[in-house]
Chain A
Amino acid sequence: MPDLRSTSNRRLKMLYALIFCSFLGLAAGLYFFQIMHSDRYTHLASNNRLRMIRFPPVRGELFDRHGTPLAVNVTTFDIMGYPLDIERENMVETLAALLSRHGIPATGEELGASLKKQYGPPYRVVRIVGNITLSQMADLVADPEFPQQLFPIPVWRRTYPAGSLAANVTGFVGEISEQELRTLSDSGYIGGDLIGKGGVERQHEAMLRGTPGEEYVEVDARGRKVKNLSVKQPGRGVDLLLSLDLGAQRLAVDLMKDYKGAIIVMDVKTGEVLVSYSSPSFDNNLLAWGVSSKEWDALVRDPANPMMDRTISGAYPPASTFKVLTALAALEEKVVNTSTTFRCSGSFKLGPRTFRCWRRSGHGSVNLLSALQNSCDVYFYQVGLKLGIDKLMEWGDLFELGRPTGIDLPGEVSGTIAGPEWKQKRLKEKWYLGDTVNYSIGQGFLLMTPIQIARMYAAIANGGILVQPHFFSTLGQNSVTLPVSKKNLEVIQKGLDYVVRRGTGRHAASFGVTVAGKTGTAQNAHGDDHALFAGYAPAKDPKYVAVAMIEAGLHGGSIASPMVGEILSYLLVPESRGR
């Protein structure tokens, strides 16, 4: 089709002409801007007159369940300036000298480094110095040498009245990092903004944050305001009333003394957390007001790990506290009933291996209730073997072990319900029956966080409902009803009652409240055994569950159980306070 070819060619040439013409148009446009009006745009470029002042939002405050403040704002002043002004003259050095003269330590280098961190277009005002008190500020502006291009603006600073008492819960705020800026750039953060760095401050950042205010101004060449272009007032964040009970929390801190570990108290029906203390703690006020990198390093590298919230990030062997799950599974799977008895001679032989009971002389003939009461290991070895590892893991999974509880704090770990598959993968070893034996008393590879233990005991106390632990209730709390019979739960509850009444947990009973619970002593490969007690009260109509995990505390019965007893009594028997 020769004529089609010539048509196509003609039209290709038309495209050619179109391209040529459009390029001429572009060249004309460029000529117009770059040659004819070059002066005007050069002038505009050198006088970019736009300035923006940003007013940081007022952050929502945190309170405990009785309205006691946990995180509040105080007014301080920031000295602000525009990057163009600051660069033009040697303002940083001048200001540093001025500040030192008025007793505020500062060097030009430090100020320069902090400025460098606040990336942003030059029309946006930046903070040169922060945390100036009202009297200091009045003193400074009265000095005739105070650079006129700089100006103070009031800002809110965060303080934590409870400080280290609840640092793991409240967390702290800090200046947004470059990496956070990059990932959050769509949410309107800019360099220099404060952002929640841990705990509730971080978890509920979106609610607490508020909205920044902005004021655009046109300025003259000296940086003085000519007129306002637009103003947007900052919006206050939401105040949060947390479920924490600061009084009980303070008691937990006292009880913990110098031990390392965690104490947690939770409402068995709602999942509200009243006490959550991780020891050792840290002073979040220091962090919120800015620490040097040296101080920060010291905190992070501290072998006692004060920045780790042991209630949710510490994974420990649940030890004998796990026996309730073995017992419940055995009843539910009809492997044993309440009259099934085993003989405990103080040890149990499986093939060539011998597994000891903690009581060398043995418990004699034991049934489920007496086995719980006296924490008889041999009884649970045999029940565990009859159940088998698959069933044990199935029940662990049902109680959502090995998964985070979803508590509203960042950094929760999932623990592990390590079974045969896990062992094969991690240790490249087969699962032996001996592993099942250890598993049934909560030793071996199994790891749980204190919050997971508390949640498991809450489910036993409240009739089989797996609640959602939380500090601040948002809509859609999801609790799971477990498929367990009331009758079997009552058996376990009775066993836990016996533990405190006349078994290993007697020390929890002497505080005027009826506690039911279970002791535990977790083998620790790195030192002394960890002491554990998980219990709830009142035993008849449970309201709160408490878990105490004391690292290297040796015996759950003597160390951990009185802590749980005393704190539960504080909450349930107000008359007992201050004894």
Chain B
Amino acid sequence: MEERRPPLRESLASLDKLQLVAVLALYLLGMLSIYSAGAGRALRGGELALRQGIWGVLSICAFLVVLHIGYERFFSLAYRIYAGALVLLLGVIVLGLTVKGAQSWFNLGFFRLQPAEFGKVALALVLGKHLSRFPPNDGPSFVGGLLLAAASGVLVLLQPDAGSALVYGIIAFAAIVVAGAPRKYSTGLILGGAALVPFAWFFLKDYQKLRILVFIDPWRDPLGAGYNVIQSRIAIGSGGLFGKGYMNGLQSKLRFLPEPHTDFIFSVFSEEFGFVGALLVLLLFGLLFWRMLEAGLRSKDIRAKILVAGIAAWMWFQVVESIGMSIGLLPITGLPLPLMSYGGSSLLALSIAFALIQSVYISTLKSYE
């Protein structure tokens, strides 16, 4: 099934423009907020924004390369890509053991690479290929698909990065459901997951338990773990309808807000741009999800549908979790808000994912006999 690659110019012309606009708009709003968030910290805002800008340029290059290669080619290499991702995930664990103290990144001199971010794309890809070949209709294929996904999930959990492991679980679940697993299997997964919660409690680190406890009652520890939630809520709530204006967010400038440029970027943004700004971000994400899922729906390729479902579920979970935790509706996990939080690996992995989905979209425009 050798296919001739369309020239890049042709691909660019047939991109889903709405999706592209949503992505770029969210990235730019993120840059504004990163600059503002850093400004309270000895004028490091410019430096942070510059770095994020460099990552943006790298991400655009990655986007173009992936788009040019096309998603079909990625599927044909899916197992190998996944195996590569597993090796990298194992690599950071081994490195973490040797340098004493866990870490989730490779230090490449001037920047750090987090394999867990790229693993998400690899997982969505390999599940698309595997589950379309062995649909999870019967016990063995269902379990096989689960085990395949568990390989990477467990490695991420061992890093230990419980938040990202949760994302891996969500990707796998969405992929298995969209691949046509019978209802009893999917409900079984949900029930099984719920049954594991009490056990998981024992494996959580003290600080993680505290995060969940203060989620239930932030005033339980207003100066320690609950402090973040309280201060973030104060930031967002005091933003009001129109916000305090760009660069005027006192909660971030006076450094009440912890981790303003990463975990709590949404709090920085909505303190300064208010409810109106927050709704704009939600609308842009809504637009983005609509266009992503549309590509999956239009595609005739089951693999592509599963891929889109996995990627959309990943991003959805992070968006809801990041915004939810900053208003104290969900426990703190430290997951970045896609496209807006400071962080190069996340941005790069997302742009690869967007390129794959755009490639799926372009393929639906071709006329079939």
Say yes or no for B145: interface residue by CB 8 A criterion: no
Q: Number of A residues whose C-beta is below 8 Å from B? A: 45
Q: B132: nearest residue on chain A (CB-CB)? A: A4
Cβ of A31: which chain B residues have Cβ within 8 Å of it?
A: 275
Cβ of B19: which chain A residues have Cβ within 8 Å of it?
A: none
Say yes or no for B177: interface residue by CB 8 A criterion: yes
Contact B316–A19 (Cβ < 8 Å)? yes
Contact A29–B327 (Cβ < 8 Å)? yes
Cβ of A48: which chain B residues have Cβ within 8 Å of it?
A: 234, 256
Q: Tell me, rounded to whole Å, the shortest Cβ–Cβ distance linking A252 to chain B.
A: 40
Contact B289–A42 (Cβ < 8 Å)? no
Contact B305–A15 (Cβ < 8 Å)? no
Contact B286–A16 (Cβ < 8 Å)? no
Contact A23–B285 (Cβ < 8 Å)? yes
Give residues 27-78 of A contacting B (CB, 8 Å). Answer: 27, 29-31, 33-35, 37-38, 40-42, 44-45, 48, 50, 52
CA distance A16 to B286 in the complex (A): 10
What sequence of 0s and 1s flags, for each residue 251-291 of chain B, a beta carbon within 8 Å of any chain A beta carbon? 10011100000000000001000110011001001100110
Q: Tell me, rounded to whole Å, the shortest Cβ–Cβ distance linking A39 to chain B.
A: 9
Contact B255–A45 (Cβ < 8 Å)? no
- Given contacts A16-B293, A19-B289, whether A7 and B180 have CB atoms under 8 Å apart is yes
- What are 13 A-B contacts with C-beta separation under 8 Å? A5-B305, A8-B178, A15-B293, A19-B289, A22-B320, A26-B327, A27-B279, A34-B237, A34-B239, A41-B234, A44-B234, A52-B223, A119-B42
Q: In the complex, how many residue pairs between chain A and chain B have their CB atoms under 8 Å apart?
A: 136
Say yes or no for A355: interface residue by CB 8 A criterion: no
Say yes or no for A229: interface residue by CB 8 A criterion: yes
Contact A26–B320 (Cβ < 8 Å)? yes
Looking at the complex, which one of B177, B289, B329 makes contact with A11 (CB distance below 8 Å)? B177
Cβ of A38: which chain B residues have Cβ within 8 Å of it?
A: 237-241
Contact A42–B135 (Cβ < 8 Å)? no
Contact B312–A15 (Cβ < 8 Å)? yes
CA distance A88 to B178 in the complex (A): 59
Contact B237–A37 (Cβ < 8 Å)? yes
| B residues neighboring A (CB under 8 Å) | 41-42, 135, 174, 177-180, 222-223, 233-241, 250-251, 254-256, 270, 274-275, 278-279, 282, 285-286, 289-290, 293, 296-297, 300, 302, 305-306, 308-309, 312-313, 316, 320, 323-324, 327, 329
Q: A40: nearest residue on chain B (CB-CB)? A: B237
Contact B256–A15 (Cβ < 8 Å)? no
Contact A216–B223 (Cβ < 8 Å)? yes
Contact B233–A11 (Cβ < 8 Å)? no
Contact A30–B275 (Cβ < 8 Å)? yes
By Cβ-Cβ distance, the 10 closest A-B pairs, closest first, are A41-B237, A45-B238, A34-B275, A38-B240, A33-B237, A42-B238, A41-B238, A8-B305, A121-B255, A7-B180
Looking at the complex, which one of A35, A50, A229 makes contact with B240 (CB distance below 8 Å)? A35
Looking at the complex, which one of A35, A52, A122 makes contact with B254 (CB distance below 8 Å)? A122
Say yes or no for A230: interface residue by CB 8 A criterion: yes
CA distance A488 to B282 in the complex (A): 84
Give residues 226-240 of A contacting B (CB, 8 Å). Answer: 229-230
Q: Tell me, rounded to whole Å, the shortest Cβ–Cβ distance linking A448 to chain B.
A: 33
Contact A29–B324 (Cβ < 8 Å)? yes
Give residues 10-24 of A contacting B (CB, 8 Å). Answer: 11-16, 18-20, 22-23
CA distance A18 to B186 in the complex (A): 15
- Given contacts A4-B135, A26-B282, whether A122 and B256 have CB atoms under 8 Å apart is yes
CA distance A5 to B240 in the complex (A): 46
Say yes or no for A9: interface residue by CB 8 A criterion: yes
Cβ of A16: which chain B residues have Cβ within 8 Å of it?
A: 289-290, 293
Contact B178–A230 (Cβ < 8 Å)? no
Say yes or no for A147: interface residue by CB 8 A criterion: no
Looking at the complex, which one of A5, A50, A230 makes contact with B302 (CB distance below 8 Å)? A5
Contact A11–B309 (Cβ < 8 Å)? yes
CA distance A198 to B238 in the complex (A): 47
CA distance A7 to B300 in the complex (A): 12
CA distance A578 to B312 in the complex (A): 86
Contact B255–A122 (Cβ < 8 Å)? yes
Cβ of B179: which chain A residues have Cβ within 8 Å of it?
A: 8
Contact A8–B312 (Cβ < 8 Å)? no
- Given contacts A22-B316, A121-B256, whether A12 and B308 have CB atoms under 8 Å apart is yes
Contact A34–B254 (Cβ < 8 Å)? no
Q: B230: nearest residue on chain A (CB-CB)? A: A44
Contact A30–B236 (Cβ < 8 Å)? yes
CA distance A246 to B41 in the complex (A): 46
Contact B297–A41 (Cβ < 8 Å)? no
Cβ of A27: which chain B residues have Cβ within 8 Å of it?
A: 278-279, 282
Contact B180–A12 (Cβ < 8 Å)? no
Q: Tell me, rounded to whole Å, the shortest Cβ–Cβ distance linking A83 to chain B.
A: 8
Q: B237: nearest residue on chain A (CB-CB)? A: A41
Cβ of B174: which chain A residues have Cβ within 8 Å of it?
A: 15
Q: Tell me, rounded to whole Å, the shortest Cβ–Cβ distance linking A188 to chain B.
A: 13
Say yes or no for A120: interface residue by CB 8 A criterion: yes
CA distance A30 to B324 in the complex (A): 9
Q: Tell me, rounded to whole Å, the shortest Cβ–Cβ distance linking A232 to chain B.
A: 11
Contact A8–B238 (Cβ < 8 Å)? no
Not counting A8-B179, A26-B327, A30-B327, a sample of 20 additional A-B residue pairs whose C-beta atoms are within 8 angstroms of each other reads A4-B302, A8-B180, A11-B178, A12-B305, A13-B297, A15-B313, A16-B289, A22-B320, A23-B282, A29-B329, A33-B237, A34-B241, A34-B278, A35-B275, A38-B240, A38-B241, A41-B237, A41-B238, A50-B223, A120-B255
Most buried by A among B234, B236, B286, B293: B234
Contact B327–A121 (Cβ < 8 Å)? no
Q: Tell me, rounded to whole Å, the shortest Cβ–Cβ distance linking B349 to chain A.
A: 20
Cβ of B233: which chain A residues have Cβ within 8 Å of it?
A: 33, 41
Cβ of A11: which chain B residues have Cβ within 8 Å of it?
A: 177-178, 180, 309
Cβ of B240: which chain A residues have Cβ within 8 Å of it?
A: 34-35, 38, 42
Cβ of B285: which chain A residues have Cβ within 8 Å of it?
A: 23
CA distance A9 to B324 in the complex (A): 28
Q: Tell me, rounded to whole Å, the shortest Cβ–Cβ distance linking B62 to chain A.
A: 25
Contact A12–B309 (Cβ < 8 Å)? yes
CA distance A60 to B134 in the complex (A): 68
- Given contacts A34-B278, A41-B234, A42-B238, whether A15 and B323 have CB atoms under 8 Å apart is no
CA distance A20 to B289 in the complex (A): 9
Q: B276: nearest residue on chain A (CB-CB)? A: A34
Contact A229–B223 (Cβ < 8 Å)? yes
CA distance A35 to B278 in the complex (A): 12
Cβ of B177: which chain A residues have Cβ within 8 Å of it?
A: 11, 14
Q: Tell me, rounded to whole Å, the shortest Cβ–Cβ distance linking A65 to chain B.
A: 35
CA distance A131 to B362 in the complex (A): 72
Give residues 203-226 of A contacting B (CB, 8 Å). Answer: 216
Most buried by B among A5, A8, A23, A178: A8
Q: B137: nearest residue on chain A (CB-CB)? A: A4
Looking at the complex, which one of A5, A12, A30, A45 makes contact with B278 (CB distance below 8 Å)? A30
- Given contacts A19-B316, A45-B251, whether A34 and B289 have CB atoms under 8 Å apart is no
Contact A5–B300 (Cβ < 8 Å)? yes
Contact A4–B180 (Cβ < 8 Å)? yes
Most buried by B among A1, A11, A37, A122: A11
Q: A26: nearest residue on chain B (CB-CB)? A: B323
Q: Tell me, rounded to whole Å, the shortest Cβ–Cβ distance linking B200 to chain A.
A: 22
